């Protein structure tokens, strides 16, 4: 017994309808991280004006839902990416390069978002330069060893004391978010008296903490401005979602 063409069409429609309904009720999503700092101000503009969503729609991906998630540091964000819970990170290049190396090219840079100076400040009157840091002196950085600030200290150590001393300041660094480190410097009894900070926290520290002063900054260490904010994603996500990556690029420009 053969089925009539009309019956075939009705059966096909019945099979396709649930899939179409599911697609309509589940729009594409993209989870993007950022951190607390003026360095990440572009992401707030992008969120408020829905720039990524608009560019995605223009590229043929309507209904994109972008979720912006704030992490205290790039290390936490990279852990979330490795766990598969976020899609794109906005952080310094240090975290991206570390992941790129450890995953053998498993992450891909998208676009730079900031080059504001990072500034090392201290409330300790004894500390005027990097030469003045002793083993017991603590420097707050967003992520030890791999954040942009931590890598800058390594580069400065290698330049001043020789390549063999590149990790001279690793023992001085402690992992703290910029807000927490700023609060620590307000407390004269706190062991952390120095903070490799970022705007606006560095300006608040210089204004509100007695004796706070600049020790060095990215321009002095590098001799030029340095990218300290960038979007990156896993290579798998970027290759599978070229239009979303393009939308993010265009929204940043």
Q: Are residues 107 and 193 in the same domain?
A: no
Assign 12 a pLDDT band (cuts: 50, 70, 90).
very low
Strand bridging mode 119-122 / 88-91: unpaired
Flag whether pLDDT at 94 surpasses 50.
yes
Cβ contacts of residue 164 below 8 Å, gap of 6+? Answer: none
Q: Are residues 18 and 109 in the same domain?
A: yes
Check residue 75 and give its pLDDT: 85
Mean pLDDT, rounded, for 35-39: 90
Q: Are residues 111 and 233 in the same domain?
A: yes
Q: Are residues 128 and 218 in the same domain?
A: yes
Mean pLDDT, rounded, for 56-75: 95
Q: Are residues 31 and 45 in the same domain?
A: yes
The pair of three-digit structure tokens given for residue 235, joined into one six-digit string: 């290579």
Q: Are residues 192 and 216 in the same domain?
A: yes
Flag whether pLDDT at 7 surpasses 80.
no
Q: Confirm whether 154 is domain-assigned.
A: yes
Q: Are residues 217 and 244 in the same domain?
A: no
Check residue 73 and give its pLDDT: 85
Q: Name which residue leads in pLDDT, 155 or 75.
A: 155
Q: Are residues 97 and 172 in the same domain?
A: no
Strand bridging mode 138-141 / 229-234: unpaired
- Cα 146 to the chain's mean position, in Å? 12
DSSP characters for 36-75? SSGGGHHHHHHHHTTHHHHHHHHTT-TT-EEEEEE-SSHH
Q: Are residues 111 and 232 in the same domain?
A: yes
Q: Name which residue leads in pLDDT, 18 or 163.
A: 163
Q: Confirm whether 3 is domain-assigned.
A: no
Q: Confirm whether 4 is domain-assigned.
A: no
Q: Are residues 159 and 84 in the same domain?
A: no
Flag whether pLDDT at 19 surpasses 90.
no
| Residue-range definition of the domain harbouring residue 25 | 14-115+228-252
Mean pLDDT, rounded, for 230-236: 97
Flag whether pLDDT at 20 surpasses 70.
no
d(CA 66, CA 122): 38
What is the overall mean pLDDT for the chain?
91
Cβ-contact 166, 114 below 8 angstroms: no
Q: Confirm whether 7 is domain-assigned.
A: no
pLDDT tens digits for range 212-228: 999 999 999 999 999 98
Check residue 200 and give its pLDDT: 93
Structural domains of the chain, count: 2
pLDDT tens digits for range 119-158: 999 999 999 999 999 999 999 999 999 889 999 999 999 9
Check residue 1 and give its pLDDT: 46
Mean pLDDT, rounded, for 69-78: 90
Q: Are residues 204 and 134 in the same domain?
A: yes
Q: Confirm whether 8 is domain-assigned.
A: no
Check residue 95 and give its pLDDT: 87
CATH of the domain at 80: 3.40.190.10
Mean pLDDT, rounded, for 174-192: 97
Flag whether pLDDT at 6 surpasses 80.
no
Sheet of 119-122: strands edge to edge? 173-175, 138-141, 192-197, 119-122, 213-217
Q: How many CB atoms lie within 10 A of CB 44?
A: 12
Check residue 21 and give its pLDDT: 46
Q: Which pTM value belongs to this model? A: 0.79
């Amino acid at each position: 017994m053969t089925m009539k063409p009309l019956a075939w069409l009705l059966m096909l429609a019945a099979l396709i309808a649930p899939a179409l309904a599911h697609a309509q009720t589940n729009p594409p999503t993209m989870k993007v991280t950022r951190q607390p700092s003026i360095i990440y101000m572009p992401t707030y503009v992008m969120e408020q004006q829905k720039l990524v969503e608009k560019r995605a729609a223009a590229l043929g991906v309507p209904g994109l839902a972008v979720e912006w998630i704030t992490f205290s540091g790039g290390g936490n964000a990279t852990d979330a990416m490795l766990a598969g819970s976020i899609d794109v990170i906005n952080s310094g290049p240090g975290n991206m390069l570390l992941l790129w190396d450890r995953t053998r090219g498993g992450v891909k840079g998208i676009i730079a978002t900031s080059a504001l100076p990072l500034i090392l400040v201290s409330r300790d009157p004894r500390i005027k330069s990097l030469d003045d840091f002793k083993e017991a002196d603590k420097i707050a950085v967003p992520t030890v060893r791999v954040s942009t600030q931590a890598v800058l200290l390594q580069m400065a150590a290698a330049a001043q004391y020789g390549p063999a001393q590149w990790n001279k300041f690793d023992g001085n660094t402690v992992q703290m978010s910029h807000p927490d480190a700023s609060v620590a410097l307000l407390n004269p009894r706190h062991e952390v008296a120095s903070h490799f900070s970022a705007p606006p926290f560095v300006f608040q520290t210089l204004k509100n903490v007695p004796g706070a002063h600049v020790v060095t900054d990215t321009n002095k260490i590098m001799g030029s401005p340095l990218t300290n904010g960038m979007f990156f994603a896993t290579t798998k996500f970027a290759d599978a979602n070229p239009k979303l990556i393009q939308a993010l690029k265009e929204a940043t420009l």
